[in-house]
A and B are shown apart, each in its own frame.
Chain A
C-alpha cells in the first residue's frame, strides 16, 4: 500500500495480522449469537486488503461480502445546493482515502496543536480491511434542490406490507452510506468521519451496526448463517455472475434515467427476530418454516445445500418456497444483509434480528413482488419489519476527478 500523496500520514498497518480477529473475540464474549453466526466462517484470503474505490459500479454491492457493517441514513440540513454538492465532493475524497487505508484530510495527528485533527484516529494502524463505502439517494432527497424532475420512476414509495410495524425514526432518509469492512472499527470510523465532515449540511437520521454477514456473494465460500441458525443466501447472486448482475442488479441505460446508468436500487429493512420464541420452536417446525434442513441447508427432500429445490415438496407457507424466483416470476435480488443485536429491549429479550439489504435493478420487479408474496410466510410469526428505507444507488466514481452523485447533480448544473 502506498501513501505517496501525504507522506506524513501513516497508512493503517495491522499489528494483529488479520484485522478484526481480536475484536471478533470480544464480540463473541458479548453474546453467544455472535459466535454462532460466525462459526467456521474462515476469513477470506484477502482480508485486510483494499477494494478499489473507482469503477463503473460502486463497490460494496457485487464485492464479496465483508464481515461487518455500519449503515447510516442522513437527512439534509442545508438548502444550499452548491454547499451540498461540495460536501458530496468532500465525502468522495474522504471515501477515496479511507477505502485505501489512509486517514482523511491531513491525518490523525502531527498537525497544528491548537486544532482538532482532521481524522478522528481510531483506524490508524489498521488495514484497509476491504472497506467499501456506498452512497444512495432516498426519495425525499428529490423534494430538495430542484431535483424533482430527476427522481427515477423506479424510486417509488414502498407500499405498506402485511405485518409492517415501521418506526419512522428507523426509516427513510435523504441519503445513505453503507460502510462494510472486515474490521468493525474501520467501518465505524468511516461513518463517523463522513458524519463529521457533513455537519451543518447533513445529520444522521438513524444508523445500524451489523455483524456476521447473512448472505454471501461468493458461492465457493461457506454459506453464512443468520441468527435463526439457518444458512442464508445459498442461491444469492454471486459477485462473479456478470450476466445475472446485469440482468437483476445494474440499471441499464434503457431503463433510465440517464444518471442512474450503472447504478442500482437498495432496499434496507430492519427485521426484528423474536429470538426467544424461535429458540423454543421444535427442529421440525423450524425446518418446515424455512423449507431447508438446519445442518446441511439442503432443500426439502434433497441431500445437498446446492441441490435444486423442489418447491412443491415444501409446505405452502415455507419461506424458501415463497421467496424463490420461481414463485415470483423470476424476481431476483442481491442480498447483502447482516445480523444485528442492539442490546436488549427492556423486557429481557434480545433486540436482535436481520438488517436486510437487497440490491436490484428495479424494486417493482424485485423486492416489492417478493415481499408481497411473503405475506403468508410461516416465518412471519417470528419476525417483524420495524425499519424500512429505499435508496437509488448512483453509478460508480470513475476516477480521481469524479465524485459521488456527479451524474445527478451536474446533469442540469
Chain B
C-alpha cells in the first residue's frame, strides 16, 4: 500500500468524476443533437445507426428483454465514455454523452454481467484522436486482467474472512497471503480510486492524523496483527472481516471501469516495483506475518503483465529497452524462485528468515529492473 496523501485522494476523486462525464439525463435531444436508438433484448443490442456526427449524442434505450440491463458507450480500449445501469425490462432510458470523432462501441449487458453484446459505431467529422489499435488492445486486455484478478480474489478473501469469523487462527493465517495476491498484482489501479486502498491495505503507521487505530484501522494488515501478534480474534475482528469483504466487493465493482491508459499501465508497472523497493524489500509491508515475498512476487507479476501487453509497441520504439527488460524480469524471477519450493508455489520463505545480504541481492535486482522500467512509458507514447 502507498501512504495516502490528501493530494492523491483529490486526484483520484477528480479521475473518478471524469470517468462519469456524460451522465445520464432526462432531457430530449435538441439543437440538432444526434439520437441513436438502442434496442436491448436478452441476446441482442440493436442500434438505429452506426455512424453519427461527433459532438452531443443521445442514446434512446429501450429494454425489450426479460432481464435488467446496462448500456455503455466505450472507447476502443474499453474505457467507459458513459453508462447507464439498472434498466429494467420494458423500460426506457436516455443516456447522453459528448464524443469526439473516432471509433466507439455500444454495449448492452443483459443481466448486468460480462463483456456485453457489442456494436461498433463511429463518430464522424472533426479531428479524430490518433490511436494505436495495438495499444487499445493492450489496455482492453489489461482491463480484463484487472477484472479477473478482482473476481478471483473475492472467493479467496471470503475463505480468509470466514476463518477469521470462525476464530480459526491457523486457517486464517494460511488464507491470509493468498487472499492478497490479486490485489497486489493490480494495486496501482485500486489506488487510483483513492478511497479503497486506505480501507483494505493500510498499515498502522499509514493512518492519518486524528485517526484512531482502535476504530479507524481496517483491512488486511489490522487482521494480520491480530492473527500473528495478538494471536487472538474477537468480535471486532469478525466485524473487520465482513468489512474487508464489503470493501473488496466495492473494488471488484469499480476496478474494471478505472481510467487506464498505456501510460498509466507502464507507470503502474514501475509503481509496483516502487512498492517492492520501499515496502517489501524492507519487510515493512508484512511486519507480523512476514509474507512479504508473496506480495513481492505478485507485484512483479502484475508489472510483468502490463509490460508484456505493451511490449509489441515498446519493442518497435525501443528494442534495447525491451531486451533489457526481458533480461531483468527473468533475473528477478529466477532470484525469487530461490525462495519457494517450486515455480508454481506461492509458499515463499518467511521474510524474517531472509538475511541482510540476501535482502541486498533482492534490492539490487529490483533496482536493476525498475530503472529501465521507468523508461517504458516513454516507449509507448503514441507518436
Give chain A's interface residues, CB within 8 Å of chain B.
Answer: 77, 112, 114-116, 196, 199-200, 203
Nearest residue in B to A118 (C-beta to C-beta)?
A: B375
Complex contact A203–B375 (CB within 8 A) = no
Complex contact A199–B378 (CB within 8 A) = no
26 pairs, A vs B, C-beta closer than 8 Å: A77-B364, A77-B368, A112-B378, A112-B381, A114-B263, A114-B266, A114-B267, A114-B377, A114-B378, A114-B381, A115-B374, A115-B377, A116-B374, A116-B375, A199-B367, A199-B368, A199-B371, A199-B372, A200-B328, A200-B367, A200-B368, A200-B369, A200-B371, A200-B372, A203-B364, A203-B367
Closest-CB distance, A351 to chain B (whole angstroms): 19
Mark contacts of B255-276 with chain A using CB atoms, 8 A cut-off: 1 yes-contact digit, 0 otherwise: 0000000010011000000000
Q: Which A residues are CB-close (under 8 A) to B324?
A: 200
Extra inter-chain contacts (18) besides given A116-B375, A199-B371, CB under 8 Å: A77-B364, A77-B368, A114-B267, A114-B378, A114-B381, A115-B374, A115-B375, A115-B378, A116-B374, A196-B371, A199-B367, A199-B372, A200-B324, A200-B328, A200-B367, A200-B369, A200-B371, A203-B364
In the assembled complex, the Cα of A116 lies from the Cα of B376 at a distance in Å of: 10
Closest-CB distance, A81 to chain B (whole angstroms): 15
Q: Which B residues are CB-close (under 8 A) to A77?
A: 364, 368
Which DSSP category, helix, strand, loop or mixed, fits chain B's interface?
helix
Closest-CB distance, B331 to chain A (whole angstroms): 9
In the assembled complex, the Cα of A116 lies from the Cα of B371 at a distance in Å of: 10
Give chain B's interface residues, CB within 8 Å of chain A.
Answer: 263, 266-267, 324, 328, 364, 367-369, 371-372, 374-375, 377-378, 381
Which DSSP category, helix, strand, loop or mixed, fits chain A's interface?
loop
Total A-B pairs, Cβ < 8 A = 30
Q: Which A residues are CB-close (under 8 A) to B364?
A: 77, 203
Q: Which B residues are CB-close (under 8 A) to A115?
A: 374-375, 377-378
Q: Which A residues are CB-close (under 8 A) to B372?
A: 199-200
Closest-CB distance, A282 to chain B (whole angstroms): 43
Q: Which A residues are CB-close (under 8 A) to B381?
A: 112, 114
Closest-CB distance, B318 to chain A (whole angstroms): 11
In the assembled complex, the Cα of A66 lies from the Cα of B286 at a distance in Å of: 46
In the assembled complex, the Cα of A316 lies from the Cα of B267 at a distance in Å of: 66
Closest-CB distance, B330 to chain A (whole angstroms): 12
Closest-CB distance, B262 to chain A (whole angstroms): 9
Closest-CB distance, A40 to chain B (whole angstroms): 43
Closest-CB distance, A270 to chain B (whole angstroms): 19
Q: Which A residues are CB-close (under 8 A) to B266?
A: 114
Closest-CB distance, A163 to chain B (whole angstroms): 27
